[in-house]
Structure 1
Amino acid sequence: MSIDGWNTVLVLGGIRSGKSEFAEALVADAPTVRYVATAADTSADDEEWATRLHAHRARRPTTWTTEETAGQPRRLAELLAAAQPAETLLIDDVGGWVTALLDPAHQPVDATATIAVLVAAIRSCPARLVLVSAEVGLSLVPTTPLGRAFTDTLGTANRAIADAVDTVVLVVAGQPSWLKPPPPTRPAAVPAQITPAAAGSRAATGPVLAPPPLPEVLTPSAPPTPAALAAAAGAPWLALPVAAASLAIEPDLAIEPDLELPMPDEDAGSQAGQRVATRDLPGAGFGGLTQLVEFAAATQGTPQPVPWARTRVLLVHGDHAGGAAAGTAPGDSARRAQEARDGQGAWARLAAEAGAELQVVDAPAADPIETDPALPLNQVEAALQLGWRLADQAADAGVRLLVLGACGAGTDAAAAAVLAATAGAEPPAVLARVRTGAGEYDDAAWMIRCAAVRDGLHRSRHSSREPREILAEVGGGDIAVATGMLLGAAARRLPVLLDGPVGVAAGLVSRDLAGPARHWCLLADHGGHPGVQLAADVLGLTPLLDLRLDLGEGGNALVALPLLRSALALAAALPAHPSLRVESDEATSNVAELTTDPAAAGSTTSEPDEATPPTEESEPTTEQPEPASPTEDEPDFREPEPAGPGPTSTDPESTPLDSSGRRAG
């Protein structure tokens, strides 16, 4: 059960207020319901109580199952933890659970800790959940200690549960009053639901799609001069396509949750951050780009990373029908994708300037999410595999960095729906305002997009929220292709540069399929997009830049790419600061002067002569705050002399060295 996207509901009310009937009406259209009864059955001793229980049981449909927890109050949290996403649970009521908890037979018990365990189980419960409880805040303070203990414990439980659930309803005289969040704009009656079985049969069936051929890869030429541009007006900026490389992935790969993917080398990243702080710079350092150096070092597996020699832009083109595309001119995204193929438009120009390859990928179009699933499951699987194959192809061709771009009608709304389904975001908070071709805001179109996302989430509220189900219900083909590409890139240890809503939405889905995938992603610029900013916080990605660029998804990253390469080149080429080099040279000189043979300083084995102790004359003439040579008060630590020849020579007698440290002759 869910109402406008809420999955857990607390129904409060007084005695005979109608709270139980209201809660049962909320789940009446669910295919199966597990009714959890918390009150003890004392019908043998109390005829009136037996009548109440009989009335409750008579109202329940025969398809419902019943669980009794009165004898084991701690079992309630276990039932919630073991619940499945497709299940619906009705707990009636929390007051009976508190009564059983305070029963002397279950004492001693820490009520506060037990409530905390129950609330944690409610927060993590994947099933649809309705809890019924008595509101005790309006009653008089009981006159007995046991009565006060009951009201205090139940009031504490009600507050904690209300904070954990999606919405709270107070039923007074049979009339519901919505306390959290504000009352919905639509009637409280729950419409007919699509059962999980029906939803699964819709998407799971269908032919197995053959892997489509991969699109051609366009290689950019050097940026042309103004004279060349004038001479070749309208000429494409990209050269002839190159042949696609062979694939290393099986065509029937099954992309399932809990994929085992490699992690970047965190030690190399940490060492690179320490190293870059010692470079000989006129200023204070790399600032926010230190994060870039650490990321490159971790993904390359070396403390001294180098600029990415070969970069490829994957521009995913996929349209979304219905209200998600409100305010978008028909055919505009197809025009831009074709321009990129022809070497025209912003993406082609930026790719040429950045020296990056460009590959345009057509994703299957998505149906209107407000009325239908965006894509069948078999097409989602094919799109995931296509993205993985694209990453595999790039890795085989020697690409060292992927830039993810996207163009399509309704991509912002689809990404917002994925954010809402995976991160609990509110669609209006993550949907950017719609701008027309004239640069004006179209708030009417923005409201239509918000409504489409809201209706799509409400329609799919019974889906399992498994990553592929989210892509099938509200994500669509472009986000599915991007998700497969991120997973395939992580499998091949290939970093990915993101900068838009489709990329971060794919990052959230790929994180749920394989946790390490997000560690191979780098965010260039959030572009001021609210959805990108929220997803970045969830994924733990800090944007490298804050230019608030909005050049199209992928375009922002291409603008930043030359700067990122320059920073990596500088970090790799600059020597250490002179003060650090002097200290290192003096330390080497002091070690050499401690040996009987001065030429040993140039040897890699530096074998000290224990027969000749260091003298005062061996002290360096330059005054130092802390001499490197041992003082009279400090012990003289020396390595023992090996019994045989050193590792640099296999002769019994090494060739003599002159005073310069070079071998004689």
Structure 2
Amino acid sequence: MSVDRWNTALVLGGIRSGKSAFAEELVADAASVHYVATAVGAEDDPEWMGRIEAHQRRRPQTWSTEETGGEPARLAAVLAEAKPDDTLLIDDLGGWVATLLDPANQPQNDVAMVAALADALRACAGRVVLVSPEVGLSLVPATPVGRAFADALGTTNQALASVVDRVALVVAGQHTWIKAAAVNPRPAQKVVAPAPVPAETQPALLVSSDSPEESDDVVFEPGMDLPMPDQDTGPDAHDRLATLDLTGAGLGSLGEAIEFAAATQSTVTPQPWSAVRVLLLTGTHAGGAGAGSDPADAARRIADAEAGAGPLIRLAGQVGADVAVVRAADSGAMEDGPVLDAEAVEAALRHGWQLAGAARADGRDALVIAAYGTGAEAAATAVLSATTGAEPVAVLPRVLAPGGTYDDNAWMVRCAAVRDALHRIRQESRGALDILAQVGGADVAVATGALLGAAAQRLPVLLDGPVGIAAGLVARDLGSQVRHWCLLPDAGTSELVKQGADVLGLTPVTQLGLDLGEGLNALTALPVLRTAIGLASSLPAHPALGEDAPDD
């Protein structure tokens, strides 16, 4: 699977459009590529041979090349032979169709050959990029041979476009995706909640049958009865680390992740998380909380994610995670009054609870909380300040504008909004549900419900960023067990995250100092955590310890 969440792509373009160069860019991240050349060389045509040689010179030395020009049936066989780790670049289908129509290869069933190629592409285990000329924009050829070629190639393009994940059109060196891969493998994973609505009208989601409580029956109130991770296997796994047959002194702070995985999996030899789901929350906070933010830019990033593009999708693809885009309701201006009413808070919490249940039902073994939106950092700051007494100006992140500059005027407006909100609620109740209604908003409430639901499902959560930390603080006051199901891969540079994590008793596993945005930090650190967990679980005790080594 490509890091952009597609496995097969068709690149279309006219003559000298740049389609081959673009296709080569798509596979540039592969360790090696099997290049399948379909063109037949012609020694008596120097210009044609020059084109072929130009393509050859562009290919890295690590690529292997196979020429199928004389055997049109070979292309389907190449696709059938590909293994999951293989990357194929087929350039181009025009040459394949020309060979297919060659009188020397007749008689044969051209329609059946195209259908067989489409079937082979659909079933191909490897990653495949195909290049093909787009003949539909040109004039109808003047000769019978030309018309036959155009018709056959057009039919082939349509047949393959219907089975690939993505289709790009390249014109004058510029590409546009005309068919995008779905971000989520199943439609049920893509959740839309566009408005604060009663719980019974929320989209139906799968909930694990072994859930302690169905989502319709759960009551969100302090003292929720949630399970705890295994209290013995975590410490036992930590003690086991000292016995491993390592060449050095140990795994350092990564032992925190191993102990966490052991406790949440109830085994001293836990397995690395292999099926992670990212909950990508998006919502809008009105008023000063969103000062300096561009709602259109946030919408663009969400649209990119839904289309299978953007940095978060690339990182998710690299670690094999899927992404569920969750559109939370809009939240009001915290400085003017409550940002949500009680019914909207309940609906958002229930929505998050259902999302966790759906993740477990779909076989996910860990969650990552991510967020794009406007005003979320100010809302998280208000939650932290209201629950811990932290000084807002000391923890509110600065407002980063495009180009790497900071908008300090916008930061001051955000500070004022948080200050006014805290002043407004100075004599109000500070219960968890009250905090969500007064300053937290819908996105924080959905994240809170997801953390509670994850604990109920015994599903570990990798926390990352202001929204996740704020949700953790609220969830802790509803069910204190929640924080034991949470791991902080990296605190990044955010003082808000550091202070909130300290209150929750979460120690960052790494000190990478990442500042990529909510969710991206955790995905970046995830491969390191997986490596440590897998290594610790697979290594035996040092032979010198003999019978004194603890049992696995």
Q: Could you state the TM-score of these two structures normalised by the residue count of structure 1?
A: 0.53
* C-alpha distance in structure 1 between counterparts of 2:228 and 2:184, whole Å: 36
1:174-573 equivalence runs, <5 A: 220=5, 225-226=27-28, 236=180, 241-244=185-188, 246-248=206-208, 249-251=214-216, 253-573=218-538
1:583 Cα deviation after fit = 7.0
Structure 2: distance between partners of 1:529 and 1:254: 33
Deviation for aligned residue 1:393? 0.7
Instruction: Identify if the C-alpha distance between structure 1 residues 398 and 429 changes in structure 2 by more than 3 Å, giving closer, same or farther.
Output: same
Question: In the TM superposition, what is the alpha-carbon distance from 1:462 to its structure 2 partner?
Answer: 2.9
CA contact (8 A) 2:278 2:323 kept: yes
| TM-fit CA distance, 1:238 | 5.4
Distance 1:276 1:435, change over 3 A: same
SS at match of 2:323: strand
Query: In structure 1, the residue corresponding to 2:427 is in which secondary structure?
Result: coil
SS of 2:256's equivalent in the other structure is helix
Q: Distance in 2 between matches of 1:515 and 1:239?
A: 34
Structure 1 residues 497 and 521: CA distance shift in structure 2, 3 A: same
1:220·1:356 contact (CA, 8 Å) conserved in 2? no
CA contact (8 A) 2:280 2:324 kept: yes
Query: Could you tell me how far 1:573 is from its partner in structure 2?
Result: 1.0
Take 1:480 and 1:518, find their aligned partners in 2: how far apart are those partners?
Answer: 16
**What is the SS of the residue equivalent to 1:318?**
strand
Counterparts of 1:420 and 1:230, CA distance in 2: 54
Distance (whole Å) between structure 2 residues aligned to residue 222 and residue 284 of structure 1: 41
Question: In the superposition, relative to structure 1, how do residues 582 and 513 fare at CA in structure 2: closer, same or farther (>3 Å)?
Answer: closer
User: What percent identity do the matched residue pairs reach?
Assistant: 54
Instruction: Say if 1:219 and 1:241, in contact at 8 Å, map to a contact too.
Output: no
Q: CA deviation at 1:225?
A: 3.4
In structure 2, how many angstroms separate the alpha carbons of the residues matched to 1:250 and 1:238? 27
Q: Which deviations, in whole Å up to 9, do the C-alpha atoms of 1:128-174 show, x marking residues without a partner?
A: xxxxxxxxxxxxxxxxxxxxxxxxxxxxxxxxxxxxxxxxxxxxxxx
Q: Deviations over 1:56-87 (max 9, x none)?
A: xxxxxxxxxxxxxxxxxxxxxxxxxxxxxxxx
- Deviation of 1:499 after TM superposition, in Å, equals 1.2
Q: Quick one: distance in 1 between partners of 2:184 and 2:251?
A: 38
Q: Counterparts of 1:385 and 1:582 in 2: how far apart (Å)?
A: 51
Mark the runs of 5 or more structure 2 residues left unpaired by the alignment: 9-25, 34-88, 90-128, 132-167, 169-174, 189-204, 209-213
SS in 1 for 2:308: coil
Deviation at 1:240, TM superposition (A): 5.9
1:292–1:564 Cα contact (<8 Å) kept: yes
- Find the aligned partners of 2:407 and 2:509 in 1 and give their Cα distance: 30
Residue 315 of structure 1 and its aligned partner are, at CA, apart by 0.6
Please tell me whether the aligned partners of residues 278 and 577 of structure 1 are also in contact (alpha carbons under 8 angstroms). yes
Deviation at 1:302? 0.8
Partners of 1:525 and 1:344 lie apart in 2 by 24
Q: Which residue of 1 aligns with 2:191?
A: none
Cα distance in structure 2, aligned partners of 1:323 and 1:583: 62
Residue 239 of structure 1: how far off its partner (Å)? 5.9
- In 1, Cα distance between equivalents of 2:206 and 2:280: 20
CA distance in 1, matches of 2:425, 2:7: 49
Q: Which of residues 537, 541, 544 is equivalent to 1:579?
A: 544
Instruction: Give the Å deviation of 1:461.
Output: 2.2
Deviations 1:514-547 (A, max 9, x none): 1011110001111110110100110000011111
Distance in structure 2 (CA, Å) of the matches to 1:460 and 1:500: 25
TM-superposed deviation, 1:219: 10
- 8 Å Cα contact 1:219-1:357 kept in structure 2: no
From the superposition, tell whether residues 304 and 243 of structure 1 become closer, same or farther in structure 2 (CA, over 3 Å): same
Report 1:579-658 matches (<5 A): 579-581=544-546
Change in Cα spacing, 1:234 to 1:527, as seen in structure 2 (3 Å) is: farther
Q: Secondary structure at the match of 1:266?
A: coil
Q: Which of 479-488 and 454-463 deviates more?
A: 454-463
Aligned to 1:407, the other structure's residue is in SS state strand
Cα contact 2:455–2:485 (8 A) shared by 1: yes
Q: Deviations over 1:173-213 (max 9, x none)?
A: xxxxxxxxxxxxxxxxxxxxxxxxxxxxxxxxxxxxxxxxx
**Using a 3 Å threshold, how does the CA distance of structure 1 residues 491 and 580 change in structure 2: closer, same or farther?**
same
How many matched pairs?
368
Confirm or deny: 8 A CA contact 2:244 2:536 kept in the other structure. Answer: yes
The whole-number CA distance in structure 2 between the counterparts of 1:461 and 1:221 is 51
Q: Is the Cα contact below 8 Å between 1:418 and 1:474 reproduced in 2?
A: yes
Contact 1:222 1:352 in 2 (8 A): no
Amino acid at match of 1:241: P
When residues 230 and 332 of structure 1 are mapped into structure 2, their CA distance, relative to the original with a 3 A threshold, is farther
SS at match of 2:406: coil
Q: Deviation of residue 237 (structure 1)? A: 6.4
The unaligned stretches of length 5 or more in structure 1 are: 1-217, 585-665
CA-CA distance at 1:554 after TM superposition: 0.3
RMSD of aligned residue pairs (Cα, Å): 2.3
Give yes or no for contact 2:432–2:477 (8 Å, CA) kept in 1.
yes
Q: Secondary structure at the match of 2:374?
A: coil
Structure 1 equivalent of residue 12 of structure 2? none
* AA of the residue aligned to 2:332: D
- Residue 230 of structure 1: how far off its partner (Å): 10
Work out whether residues 325 and 410 of structure 1, in 8 Å CA contact, stay in contact via their aligned partners in 2: yes
Alpha-carbon spacing, 1:435–1:240, altered in 2? closer, same or farther (3 Å): closer
Q: Which moved more, 1:575-584 or 1:367-376?
A: 575-584
Alpha-carbon distance in 1 for matches of 2:231, 2:484: 10
- SS where residue 299 of structure 1 aligns? helix
Letter in 2 for 1:344: A
Whole-angstrom distance in 1 between the partners of 2:383 and 2:341: 16
User: More relative contact order in 1 or in 2 (CA 8 Å, sep 6+)?
Assistant: 2
* Separation (CA, whole Å) in 1 of partners of 2:356 and 2:374: 24
